[in-house]
Structure 1
């Protein structure tokens, strides 16, 4: 883990590797489409498709990381879990959406597509796939709150998001819906529905935050029946989804919440195993240290221009 951070210290994008238990390795790659070579990107895409092939026909998925488009990978943060021999077993493709709002744009992290090899579903990977990347980016963002979004019809995921993040709307026992929730949802549906594979013919019920007929934009094979959708251990979330969504038509709920200090406390105390706490905190510490060191490296690099500022080597007159 330390070596991977130090070797990428000059890069503005995160590339972090850490161990998970005795059998798995986790690698977090920020916007790989911006810095990976074609060969590296092809290998990453092959790993993602290998995981998807264990659960469904990946060839029928045509959005996000399966779009064979470097620009899509330039807007994605990939969390890839492999065995020690390099066999991919799970991934999370978390999208970065820049939402045009006033007075300035807001970056929203979309939880995106999560897939796990059925043989690895008992390996305790949920805290890695759903929260670890968010935690590291929250740390790098100097503990400033980050807006999160989630589009799903799976009760287990609705419950996980409701319990992990703050100010989540909607959920069975919701906090107050704010104008920010409404404005962000409107902008996401207007500008970013391709991120989660929702077609233009899908409608958005703003009162309930439900997307009707959602599986027509490349995510068709992810549509589930009520019986097949994984349930949450708390029946409250199962009842909520069964009442709010039409599974025959193919509805999704869009949830918006925030990663903030209370959410981080819940994540570390409820989700992360005690045996993994030290490794997670070390990863966060190195990410924060990298954030501090990188400007110093840039400042001392005489080959790097700074907008209208130039180094003495560039101008020759300072």
Structure 2
């Protein structure tokens, strides 16, 4: 299933494996930092194919579709291909945002832009697009909690994020409240990273409710929806929450901040991943663990070659 040696030896995440008999996923970390020009061009072409099928009436001008050169140097791309013909059918672009928290640099995984070809919707791809990459990064981070952010006006997505991750704010769940750290992260994101999710400089931010007002002005204009057109969650409380908090005529979004911790990872495994995909996920997880834990030990044991700041003895 894997070319294990080449995958393990790469410094950046680059995994490709079948998630089911019908679909194959490829996860590529910061391709703009290490891919050659031809490979980046092919990746962009696959992303645009999915986007053109998902948003046929207009183009997007933010994130990985913007003219900013750094877009693919700080983004983790998850692409899903159909096994039968090799066509790209869905993707998730997960930007890594650098913020300062208590004077220390912190990475925030922004759940980013998700697009699915209408022909394959409702075919069980959500566990790949919304949680798989985050889970693998959590393993690589040695099970330390990871901060996540999400911007959406879609009740189905807002509910999925609130139920998948821990301590998410804003959310209609009992006891949901913003912490000081969430307040600092949300403020930093709106000050320095709003272009990542297509929000223009004229958009406002309600810091008490974590609501971005007039959000669709920075390249994401074609994604603006009415409440009636936005996909609904199976639980009415999320639909009612979005209807009450957001002005869909103006174009508002929720900015959700939460964490992927051990409890969230357990919920993901137990509730989101199909039973028949657990074996494939276990193999992918083993590659990450080998890359993170075993490979450094092998490097340490080799006294003949330099490793980071360590020099071989003469």
SS in 2 for 1:8: helix
1:19 corresponds to = 18
- Pairing 1:1-318 to 2, within 5 Å after superposition: 1-3=1-3, 5-57=4-56, 60-84=59-83, 85-173=85-173, 174-296=175-297, 298-299=299-300, 300=302, 304=306, 306-307=308-309, 309-312=310-313, 318=314
CA contact (8 A) 1:97 1:192 kept: yes
**Cα pair distance change 1:227/1:42, threshold 3 Å:** same
Q: Residues 222-263 of structure 1: CA distance to partner in whole angstroms, max 9, x if unpaired? A: 111111111111111000000100111110000001001110
Deviation of 1:297 after TM superposition, in Å, equals 5.3
**Cα pair distance change 1:171/1:199, threshold 3 Å:** same
Deviation of 1:305 after TM superposition, in Å, equals 6.0
CA distance in 2, matches of 1:305, 1:132: 30
Superposition RMSD on alpha carbons, in Å? 1.6
SS in 2 for 1:143: coil
CA contact (8 A) 2:58 2:222 kept: no
CA distance in 2, matches of 1:281, 1:20: 11
Q: Using the TM superposition, name which of 239-248 and 64-73 deviates more.
A: 64-73
CA distance in 2, matches of 1:10, 1:67: 31
Deviation of 1:204 after TM superposition, in Å, equals 0.5
SS in 1 for 2:111: strand
CA contact (8 A) 1:52 1:58 kept: no
Deviation of 1:62 after TM superposition, in Å, equals 1.3
1:315 corresponds to = none
SS in 2 for 1:105: strand
Deviation of 1:154 after TM superposition, in Å, equals 0.4
SS in 2 for 1:60: coil
CA contact (8 A) 1:2 1:286 kept: no
TM-score, scaled relative to structure 2: 0.95
**Cα pair distance change 1:294/1:67, threshold 3 Å:** farther
CA distance in 1, matches of 2:259, 2:133: 14
Gaps of 5+ in 2: none
Q: Residues 165-203 of structure 1: CA distance to partner in whole angstroms, max 9, x if unpaired? A: 000001011433210110110001111111111111111
CA distance in 2, matches of 1:33, 1:115: 20
Q: Residues 119-147 of structure 1: CA distance to partner in whole angstroms, max 9, x if unpaired? A: 10021000110000011000010000000
Q: Using the TM superposition, name which of 289-298 and 234-243 deviates more.
A: 289-298
Q: Residues 54-90 of structure 1: CA distance to partner in whole angstroms, max 9, x if unpaired? A: 1214862111111244411011000000011320000
Deviation of 1:103 after TM superposition, in Å, equals 3.2
Deviation of 1:9 after TM superposition, in Å, equals 2.4
Equivalent residue pairs, number = 311
**Cα pair distance change 1:305/1:127, threshold 3 Å:** closer
CA distance in 1, matches of 2:25, 2:307: 35
Deviation of 1:285 after TM superposition, in Å, equals 1.7
TM-score, scaled relative to structure 1: 0.93
Deviation of 1:10 after TM superposition, in Å, equals 2.3
**Cα pair distance change 1:301/1:13, threshold 3 Å:** farther
